[in-house]
Amino acid sequence: MIQIGNVTIPGRISLSPMAGISDSPTRRICKKFGAAFSYTEFVNTDEIVHRAPKALKLFQFDPEERPITFQIFGNRLEIIAEAAEIIQELKPDIIDLNMGCSTRKVSLRGAGAGLLRRPAQAGKIIEAIKKRVNVPVTAKIRIGWDSQTRNYLEVAKQLEESGVDALTVHGRTKEMAYTGLADWDAIGEVKANARIPIFGNGDIKSFQEANAKIREYKVDGVLIGRNAIGNPWIFSENKKEELSWEKIYTVILEHLCWMIESFGEEFGLVLFRKHLVKYLSGLEFDSLWKAELLEIREFKRFEECLISHRTAKSLVSHS
């Protein structure tokens, strides 16, 4: 167990925040299979202070998801601090400042990874948030803006001195986005120099690899992002490639039902497609069947189509 401020994290492997992916149903299915905690998708603080319904809706969560971290991003200190105070009313366990988003529209205006270029300002933002809320405050960073400015130790030190309760380090620079390999030596360096909990993030492909990273780099925990999509079993010792088709389709249906509860039948099915593609990845099946599944917009038809293949030999065989 890990302590982040006054919050106990009941495990060491958790779900990373991902825009358009880590909604409440996805967090719930990952939690069911062992994710210790999770984050909301990041939300723009400018929209929060205007109490935009669409923005605030991203903070909806089921009690079973706790501990839950609300992640926010922005570039103006007063706005960020005010937004943190507003969302505290929604009862998060932790509030996290995103300092890792590499998309141009976020980072080039000084938010997300853009804050890596202004460590002192980032520290002031953490201090301002801490003054306005009574829950732990964390941040998620990258190792630098580009290969020439890998200032992760400076940023981590500044944030720790400013009172941040924990840090997650994604082992890539902003310029790398999601290319190349994550630098776990850099993550280990941050941990070796820190007195607060440090989580590592980047390229973890299995439960076994997650635990190996924790042991080798002495981090307090790890976050898994893209490799958890369509594979909530990654948070446990179960390997998707060793599961029967019956077990896989049961989880697909459970996840989809939660998506429909949250987003309605048609939109829930449409949003679920990106998860479904990943759930089916690594399985051998008829491509026409997959194409049909991805077009369906009614739950009953989807369920019938999915279950009709439960005895198909090709689906039980794994590539």
Q: Which of 162, 103, 172 is nearest to 141 (CA)?
A: 172
| Terminal Cα distance for the chain, rounded | 36
Digit-coded pLDDT (tens) for 143-179: 999 999 999 999 999 999 999 999 999 999 999 999 9
- Active-site residue among 30, 101, 257, 305? 101
Confidence of residue 120 (pLDDT cuts 50, 70, 90): very high
Q: Tell which residue, 185, 177, 203, has the closest CA to residue 113.
A: 177
Compute the half-sphere exposure of residue 16: CA atoms within 13 Å on the CB side of its CA. Answer: 28
Average pLDDT over residues 10-16: 97
CATH, domain range 240-316: 1.10.1200
Domain 2-235 indexed as CATH 3.40.50.2300: no
Please tell me the distance from the alpha carbon of residue 297 to that of residue 101, in angstroms, as a whole number.
32
Q: Is the pLDDT of residue 317 over 70?
A: no
Active site residue 257: no
* pLDDT number for residue 318: 43
- Model pLDDT for residues 199-242, shown as the tens digit of each residue: 999 999 999 999 999 999 999 999 999 999 999 999 999 899 89
The backbone region for 163, taken as left when phi is positive above 0, alpha when psi lies in -120 to 50, beta otherwise, is left
Which of 142, 252, 242 lies closest to 200, judged by CA?
142
How do the domains of the chain map onto residue ranges?
2-235, 240-316
Residue 12's nearest CA partner among 291, 200, 277 is 200
How far, in Å, CA of 272 to CA of 259, rounded? Answer: 7
Residue 309 reports pLDDT greater than 90: no
Residue 83 contacts by C-beta under 8 Å, 6 or more apart in sequence? Answer: 45, 48, 49, 72, 74
Reported pTM: 0.93
What distance in Å separates the CA atoms of residue 60 and residue 43, rounded to the nearest whole number?
12
Which residues fall within 8 angstroms of residue 37, CB to CB, at 6 or more apart? 9, 10, 11, 14, 15, 66, 67, 68, 69, 93, 94
pLDDT tens for 237-294 read 989 989 998 999 999 999 999 999 999 999 999 999 999 999 999 887 778 888 999 9
- What is d(CA 75, CA 131) in angstroms, rounded to the nearest whole number? 18
Mean pLDDT value across residues 133-145 = 97
**Are 288 and 280 within 8 A, CB to CB?**
no
Task: Report how far residue 17's alpha carbon sits from residue 92's, in angstroms, rounded to the nearest whole number.
Answer: 15
Say which range, 1-10, 51-60, 64-73, 286-295, has the weakest mean pLDDT.
286-295
Judged on CB neighbours under 10 Å (0-12, 13-18, 19+), 171 is: buried
Is residue 169 within 8 Å of residue 119, measured between CB atoms? no
